[in-house]
A and B are shown apart, each in its own frame.
Chain A
Amino acid sequence: MARIHLAAALVACGVVSLLPRDAAAQAPAPALTMAVGAPITSLDPHYHQLSPNNAVADMIFDSLVNRDARDRDIPGLAVSWRAVDPTTWEFKLREGVTFHNGNPFTAEDVAFTLHRVPRVPNSPSSFALYTRPITGVEIVDAHTIRLRTAAPYPLMPTDLSNLRIIDKETAENATTEDFNSGRAAQGTGPWRVVEHRNGDRIEFARNETYWGGAPGFARVTYRMVTNDAARTAALLAGDVDFIDQVPTADLARLRREARITLSETVGQRIIFLGLDHSRAGATPFITDNDGKPLEPNPLKDVRVRRALSLAIDRHAIAERVMEGASTPSGQFLPAGSFGYVPGLEAPRANPDEARRLLAEAGFPNGFRITLNSPNDRYINDARIAQAIGQMWTRVGLRTSVEAQTWSTFVGRAARTELSAWLIGWGSSGSEASNPLRNLVATISREKGWGASNRGHYSNRALDALVERAMVELDNPKREALLREATQMAMDDVGIIPLHIQTNIWAMRRGLQHQARADELTRAQDIRPAAR
C-alpha cells in the first residue's frame, strides 16, 4: 500500500513539474526568473567595463550617482553634489545605509573604492579612466567627501556613476575571484548574491533593508540564454518570466500573444557607417568599375559622402529591416539628450540628388565599393548592410557586402583596413561630448580622444569646440557648444548616421517593467503589475 502511495506521489510530482508554469504564477509571485542574452563575465564591479556586468553590478551595488531610466544622473549613495570651486567637487553621502553584511556605509568606503578601481589586476577593460581625472581625495567627515581635479571637470558626477561602491572591510584584500564566488560581493544594492554559476545563472535574494525600498520579489534567478530564438521560446514556454534583447523577428508574434507584455524605449545606441578618411590615395575597398584602384580616395570628397548618405532610405530600413524597432537619425543622440540638435532630422532618401552629387564629383558612372559589417554584434547588423547595398547599387555604386563575426571585424576596423563599414556606438551618460570625443574628434593619445575614430576623421574647428565644452561648467553654454560641434560633424558627413535602436524587453502578463535607455537589464526595474 505504502508503495502505491509513493508511486502516486512520484507521478503527481512528475505531473506538477510538467504543468505549464502559468498555473503557479497565479499566486502572489515571490520569485522571478529572467533570461538575458549576454553572458556576465564577473561579479567584480571594477573588473570589466561591460554593459551586462554593469547591469548585474547595479543590482548588487550602488554608485554615488545612479542613473535613471533615461540615463540621467540621479542621487545614489550621494544625496547631493556640487562644484565648490572650479577644480573641487563635493559629495554629500546618504546616511544610515548599510552593506549586505551589516557594515555601515561611509566616506571611507568611497575613498577605498576610488583607490581600488585602477588597481584591479588583469582587467581586460578597467574603470581607471573614470578615476584618472581625480588628483586628490579628501574625507571631510563620515558623510562628506571632496574630489579634486587638475582642471575644471564637468563630467565628474557622470563618470562616478560608473563606479560601484564596495565595502572597505570586506574587499580590502579581495580578488576578482572572491567577488565571483559571492563572498566579497557585498554591496548596498537591492539584491544579495545567493549563488553564482559562471556562464549559467546567478541567484539573488532581495535586500529587505534596501534604502530605496525593498524590491517586489523575494528571489531572482538571472539566467544567461544567449541564443535569441531560444530566449523567446523559453518565455513562450513559461520557463522564464522575463527576457531582454527581444529579436525583431519575434516582435510580430509576441505582440499578438495575450499572455505576453512588451516594454520598449528609444535607446542610446546609434548605428552608423564609418568611412575611411585616412587615405588620400586609393582606399582598399573602392575600385573603379573595371576593378582597378581608384585614386584619389573618393571618400575624401564631401559630395561623395553626402551622396552615400542621401542614397539610403532610413525609413525603409527602420520599417522593413528593423520591423519598427529603430528611429531613423541624423545625429548621434536621440531627442531629449544633452546636446541633441533640434531640427537636425534624419536625411530623407533622395537617389536623384545622390546621383547628381556623384556626377558632380566626377563619378557619373559610379564606382565599386564594399561595405563591411559585423554579423553578430548589433540588431540585424548584416541585414541592414545588405539593404544599404541594395540602395547604393540603385544610385550606380556597385556594392558588395561583406559580413563577418565581430572577432575578425573589429580588428580590421581598428587597423583601418576598411573603406566603409557599419558599426554602432552606445553613448553613456546621455551627453553629446561622449560620441563627439570618441567618434569624430581627431585622434590624440594625450587627450584620450578619437579612440574609436576608426576612419581617422579630423576637423580642427570641431576639436576646438569640443575642447571648450570639456572645461565649461555652465550647462547651457556647454550644450550650445556640443550642438554646434554635432552640427559641424553632420554637415561634413564625418560619419553617416542610420538609426537609433529601440530597446525591447518581453515578459509574461502580470509584470511591469521600467524600460531603460542604456539597455541594462536589472531586476529592480521589474514589479508585479498593479491589479
Chain B
Amino acid sequence: MTVFLLRRLLQAIGVVLAMTVLVFLGVFAVGDPVEILISPEADQLERERAIRELGLDLPLWRQYLVFLGNALQGDLGRSFVFNEPALQLIYQRMPATLELALGATFLALLIGLPLGLYAGLRPNAWGSRTIMAGSILGFSLPTFWVGLMLIMVFAVQLGWLPSTGRGETVTILGMRWSFLTWDGLLHMAMPMFSLSLSRIGLVIRLTRSGVRENMVMDYVKFARAKGLSPNRIVFVHVFRNILIPVVTVMGLELGGTIAFSVVTESVFAWPGMGKLIIDSINVLDRPVIVAYLMLIVLMFIVINLLVDLSYSVLDPRVRLESRE
C-alpha cells in the first residue's frame, strides 16, 4: 500500500510538470499577453517596458526556468493583470466554487439516485420512460441557455430568486461562505440547479443501467431464494454494487464541476474560480492559468486515487496491491 501511494506521488509530480510545460507552450501559441493588456494608446517604448517588466522578453525556455526556480521556493508567480500572487487570487475565489460544485453534486445524487432506482426497477412503466426522456434533456440543453431561462423565469418574471451574484457571506477559517445564510442560499439556488442539471441526468442513467444489470445477476437470485426481502436486496446488495460506476463518474464529474463551471459562473456572475480561469484565459494571464491548472491536476490525481481506493473498498474483487 505504501509503495503504491509513493509511486502515485512520483507520478503526480511528473504530471504536474507536464501540465506546466503544456500551459507555457499553449499560451505562447495562442498569443501575446502584452498585446491584450496594454492600453491602445501606449507607444512602442511603453510596450517594450511592459514586456520587460512582465519577464516576457526572455526566450520561452528561460521564462520557464525562471518559473520553475520560483515554484521550487513556493512562488507560482504574480498575475499579469492583478499584480497579486496567483495562488492568493485562486484561494480567494475557491470557496465560492467549492460550495457551488459540492451543492450541485449533492443535489444531483439526491434527485438522481431515487429516480434512477425507480426507472431501473420498473423499466417499462410510463413513469420510468418519462424520467429517462427527461434525463436526456438535462445534458443536451446548453448551460448558458438554461441559465438565462432560469433567470428570466425565477428572477424577472416571478421575482422569487435574486438574478445574479453571491449573497451574504459568513467568514470561517478566513474564507467567505454563503451557504450558511438564507440570502446566500437564495443566491446559490439557481446556479446550483443549473450546474446539477446535466449531472442529474447522468446519475439517473448510471443508476438505472446498474440496477437493471444487477437484478438479473446470480447473487440477486440467490438472495431471493434465501428469502431476503426485496427491499433488503435492492437497498443493501444491489445498491452497493451500482455505487461503483456512480462513484467513479461522479468523482470525475465533481472534479470537472469544480474546475470548469465556467459558463454557469459567467451567466450568474458568480465570483468563483471558473470565472477567474476564463477571464485569465481571455487575457492570457499565464501565471494564474499555470497555478490554477497545477492545482486542478493535483485535485484530479487525488480524486482518481480516491476512486481507485474506493473500488477496493466497495468491490472486494479489485485488489490494488496484487496488481503489478
- Cβ contact of B44, chosen from A18, A35, A445, cutoff 8 A: A445
Contacts of B165 in A (CB 8 A): 200-201, 223, 225, 234, 239
Residue of B nearest to A199 (CB): B271
- B41 close to A (CB within 8 Å): yes
Contacts of A407 in B (CB 8 A): 30-31, 36, 281-284
> Which of A238, A434, A451 neighbours the largest number of chain B CB atoms within 10 Å of its CB?
A451
B44, A448: Cβ atoms under 8 Å?
Answer: yes
State which of B11-19, B80-88, B213-221, B253-261 sits at the interface with chain A: B80-88
State which of A45-53, A386-394, A519-527 sits at the interface with chain B: A45-53
> Which of A48, A50, A125 neighbours the largest number of chain B CB atoms within 10 Å of its CB?
A125
Task: Determine the main DSSP class of B at the interface with A.
Answer: helix
Residue of B nearest to A235 (CB): B163
A410, B36: Cβ atoms under 8 Å?
Answer: yes
- In the assembly, what is the distance between CA of A227 and CA of B164, in Å? 10
Query: How many positions in chain A have a CB within 8 Å of any CB in the partner chain?
Result: 64
- B45 close to A (CB within 8 Å): yes
Given the interface contacts A123-B50, A233-B148, A237-B163, does A200 sit within 8 Å of B155 by beta carbon? no
Contacts of A237 in B (CB 8 A): 151, 155-156, 159, 162-163
Given the interface contacts A448-B43, A451-B47, does A230 sit within 8 Å of B37 by beta carbon? no
- In the assembly, what is the distance between CA of A41 and CA of B80, in Å? 10
Give A222-253 interface residues, CB cut-off 8 Å to B.
Answer: 223-227, 229-230, 233-234, 236-239
- Cβ contact of A122, chosen from B42, B53, B281, cutoff 8 A: B53
Contacts of B78 in A (CB 8 A): 122
- A452 close to B (CB within 8 Å): yes
Give B117-170 interface residues, CB cut-off 8 Å to A.
Answer: 147-148, 151-152, 155-156, 159-160, 162-166
- A121 close to B (CB within 8 Å): yes
Contacts of B93 in A (CB 8 A): 199
B81, A124: Cβ atoms under 8 Å?
Answer: yes
B266, A226: Cβ atoms under 8 Å?
Answer: yes
- A210 close to B (CB within 8 Å): no
Kindly provide the distance from the CB of B44 to the nearest chain A CB, expressed in whole angstroms: 4
- A26 close to B (CB within 8 Å): no
Give B84-98 interface residues, CB cut-off 8 Å to A.
Answer: 84, 89, 92-93
Give B29-58 interface residues, CB cut-off 8 Å to A.
Answer: 30-47, 49-50, 53-54
Contacts of A412 in B (CB 8 A): 31
- B186 close to A (CB within 8 Å): yes
A124, B31: Cβ atoms under 8 Å?
Answer: no
- A13 close to B (CB within 8 Å): yes
Residue of B nearest to A120 (CB): B83
- In the assembly, what is the distance between CA of A13 and CA of B183, in Å? 10
Contacts of A229 in B (CB 8 A): 148, 151, 267
Contacts of A132 in B (CB 8 A): 45
Kindly provide the distance from the CB of A421 to the nearest chain B CB, expressed in whole angstroms: 14
Binary B-proximity of A148-168 (CB < 8 A = 1, otherwise 0): 000000000000000000000
- In the assembly, what is the distance between CA of A39 and CA of B81, in Å? 11
Kindly provide the distance from the CB of B173 to the nearest chain A CB, expressed in whole angstroms: 17
Residue of A nearest to B268 (CB): A230
Query: How many positions in chain B have a CB within 8 Å of any CB in the partner chain?
Result: 59
Give A383-415 interface residues, CB cut-off 8 Å to B.
Answer: 405-408, 410-412, 414
Number of A-B pairs, beta carbon distance below 8 Å: 174
- B269 close to A (CB within 8 Å): yes
- B182 close to A (CB within 8 Å): yes
A124, B267: Cβ atoms under 8 Å?
Answer: no
Contacts of A212 in B (CB 8 A): none
A448, B45: Cβ atoms under 8 Å?
Answer: yes
- B250 close to A (CB within 8 Å): no
- In the assembly, what is the distance between CA of A527 and CA of B86, in Å? 38
Give B227-274 interface residues, CB cut-off 8 Å to A.
Answer: 266-269, 271
Residue of A nearest to B96 (CB): A200
B50, A126: Cβ atoms under 8 Å?
Answer: yes
- Cβ contact of A198, chosen from B30, B82, B159, B268, cutoff 8 A: B82
- In the assembly, what is the distance between CA of A234 and CA of B151, in Å? 8
Kindly provide the distance from the CB of A346 to the nearest chain B CB, expressed in whole angstroms: 23
- Cβ contact of A123, chosen from B53, B92, B148, cutoff 8 A: B53
Kindly provide the distance from the CB of A238 to the nearest chain B CB, expressed in whole angstroms: 7
- In the assembly, what is the distance between CA of A17 and CA of B37, in Å? 40
Which residues of A approach B to under 8 Å, CB–CB?
13-14, 17-20, 35, 39, 41-42, 44, 47-50, 121-126, 128-129, 132, 176-177, 180, 197-201, 223-227, 229-230, 233-234, 236-239, 376, 405-408, 410-412, 414, 425-426, 428, 434, 438, 445, 448-449, 451-452
CB pairs A–B below 8 angstroms (5 shown): A14-B182, A35-B164, A41-B81, A407-B283, A410-B31
Which residues of B approach A to under 8 Å, CB–CB?
30-47, 49-50, 53-54, 78, 80-84, 89, 92-93, 147-148, 151-152, 155-156, 159-160, 162-166, 182-183, 186, 266-269, 271, 275-276, 279, 281-284
Closest 7 CB pairs of A and B: A448-B43, A411-B31, A200-B271, A49-B39, A124-B37, A237-B155, A225-B269
A41-B81, A199-B271 given; 7 more Cβ-contact pairs under 8 Å = A129-B41, A198-B92, A226-B275, A227-B269, A233-B163, A239-B164, A411-B32
